[in-house]
Amino acid sequence: MNKKSVIGLLFVGALTFTVTSCADMFNIDSSRVVYEHNHKLDSSADSVYSTIGILHAFQKIADRYIILGEVRGDMVDINKNAKASLRNLSEFNFDDDNEYLQVSDYYNVINNCNYLITHMDTTIRHNNEAVMTDEYVAALSIRAWTYMQLALNYGKVPYYTNPITTVAASEADYPKYDIKQLALVLIPQLMPYMDYKLPAWDGISAGGQDLTSTNCDLLFPPIQLLLGDLYLWLGDYQNAWLTYRDFITDNPKYTMRATTGGETTNFPGLMPLGNGQVKTNSRMTGREAQNSGYPAYNDARSYLNGILGSRGEAITVVPMESSSQNGLVSEVPGLFTSRENTHPLRGSDLWQELSSAQDYFFTNSSASEVNKEYSILGNKGDQRINLFVREQKNEEDEFETMEKFVQGSTNNGTSTVYYARMLTLYRRALVHLRAAEALNCLANQQHNGQLAVQAFGILRDGFDILFPNGNTYKADLQPYTLGVHARGCGEVYLDTASYMVRPDAIAKYYNKDAASVNFTDTIHYVEDRICDELALETTFEGNRFTDLIRFAERRGADYLAGKVACRKGTDNRDEALYQKLLNKSSWYLPLK
């Protein structure tokens, strides 16, 4: 690899850190320049402007998080009209001129973070408060997340922490680290700030949506979650589980309010998953819904808004603009949404197959909890797919919308343009699922089957796992810790027969004899269910391919290869792609 081709483009005699106001924070005025030479960031204005410059650079890699993470995965397939760059990504043919493989944008973010971290004077205090530390920690978090994405997508990547401001520095040799080596370097950097509150600025909006009321620490990856991810990739499952669990149950940034006995009670610290469930296709109404065999639609829209918006499940978002006149517009909505079905990307047949294969648990909602009975609607399917994809057909055209992305639309004079106000990097369900993954891996390390059952509990009903010593407000809290699988498959926590960790359920899942089920089968059963749940709940959000890499590191290359090769359904496996993906080197993008 030519070093200059990777980071030489980052040589900057001047770095641009500027903004006209907090209301249009991403409208960078290039006429205002902070020169690197002899410059020290020693005022709060410097820290804010510098961080805004980082966020502006951060926007440029947000789309690639989604595109690289999904186009190479098993839940997304290309349509016939996909452009060559997307088709080649999907087929793992990484040509040199592919627009999505430019690594310099990542290092631009890193170089800007390095500049701030190196020059920020964190000793300055006002009213006995360290006024520069907030943005310093924010830069640490963004730099760590960006390095993680580089390593996960490119394998081994150059690592440096000093800002590159000279030609000599751009041409120097830097060590190259993979994700495990990066974890060993980044964890000690982040640990001192694990509980530090990230900046929350007032008056910030993007894409026409006000972010002020939510606190703008949504703009930065929480240090605690970065540590959890790094521990998970490192294979330190004890610390990964404890870090995720503590974020869910002890994090002071999240407070749930519940009503008990007519009084409003605070539960500080709990990061509630929420009880929004998709109980039927939201497009069914009246008799159509009644005849479908599903219960009535319940709270699905607020659940979807929780995924998309800054007021629900979102933990970290990258705000985008609704118009290029205002700033950077995300390409992602147009990749999944179009009139006349001309969009290049779609949900794969394997995703539809996985969704259809789920059992739905139907209950009589009017019955008491003691007497509540349920019915299993076998193979009726997970209902989230019906909410995520909206199809409209009329005499004029066919129209498909991927609801996870389209948060607004505008007309450019000739056609309707769909846009995303923000792209989500972390949300609550993802944290719950990674906590389950870490706990099941810990069960395997400790050869403890009970821990595997607890990990599975996060898919069914997470309260007793998250609060093993009980809680005074269990009756109020339990609805907000229902398992992730319940969101699309009904009251799964009531099931005592099929969705369980028992030899008969495991045997049925793997089509084998119950007497032959062993400990490894149990671990794999829970792991497979978690992997499936990541697909059912978080697909199209940017995590899928790197999730598969992580699972395959434990289960073998066949685990990833088999899933990706079956995008068009399990009966239509792409044998050539399967053979290609058995070679792990084919998973990673070329540095250029």
Asked whether the beta carbons of 501 and 453 are under 8 A apart, the reply is yes
Report yes or no on 116 lying in a domain: yes
Report yes or no on 144 lying in a domain: yes
How would residue 251 be classed by pLDDT, with cut points 50, 70 and 90? Answer: low
- More confident site: 253 or 95: 95
Report yes or no on 362 lying in a domain: no
**Residue 491 confidence (pLDDT) above 60:** yes
**How confident is the model at residue 63, as a pLDDT?**
93
User: Distance between CA 277 and CA 489 in Å, rounded?
Assistant: 8
Asked whether the beta carbons of 107 and 10 are under 8 A apart, the reply is yes
**How confident is the model at residue 418, as a pLDDT?**
66
Q: In this structure, what DSSP letter does residue 590 have?
A: P
How would residue 45 be classed by pLDDT, with cut points 50, 70 and 90? Answer: low
**Residue 288 confidence (pLDDT) above 50:** no
Q: What is the pLDDT of residues 123-161, one digit of tens each?
A: 666 666 665 688 889 999 999 999 999 999 999 999 999
Total number of domains in the chain: 1
State the residue for tokens 């009904």. 490
**How confident is the model at residue 185, as a pLDDT?**
98
Percentage of residues in the chain having pLDDT higher than 70: 68
How would residue 96 be classed by pLDDT, with cut points 50, 70 and 90? Answer: confident
**How confident is the model at residue 381, as a pLDDT?**
85
How would residue 30 be classed by pLDDT, with cut points 50, 70 and 90? Answer: very low
For 523: left if phi > 0, alpha if psi spans -120 to 50, otherwise beta; the answer is alpha
Report yes or no on 48 lying in a domain: yes
**Residue 368 confidence (pLDDT) above 50:** no
Report yes or no on 446 lying in a domain: no
User: Distance between CA 447 and CA 507 in Å, rounded?
Assistant: 20
Q: What is the CATH number of the domain that holds 126?
A: 1.25.40
**How confident is the model at residue 317, as a pLDDT?**
86
Report yes or no on 522 lying in a domain: no
Report yes or no on 469 lying in a domain: no
User: Distance between CA 473 and CA 418 in Å, rounded?
Assistant: 43
For 263: left if phi > 0, alpha if psi spans -120 to 50, otherwise beta; the answer is beta
**Residue 285 confidence (pLDDT) above 60:** no
Report yes or no on 105 lying in a domain: yes
CA atoms within 13 A on the CB side of 404: 25
Q: Quote the domain boundaries for residue 147.
A: 3-185
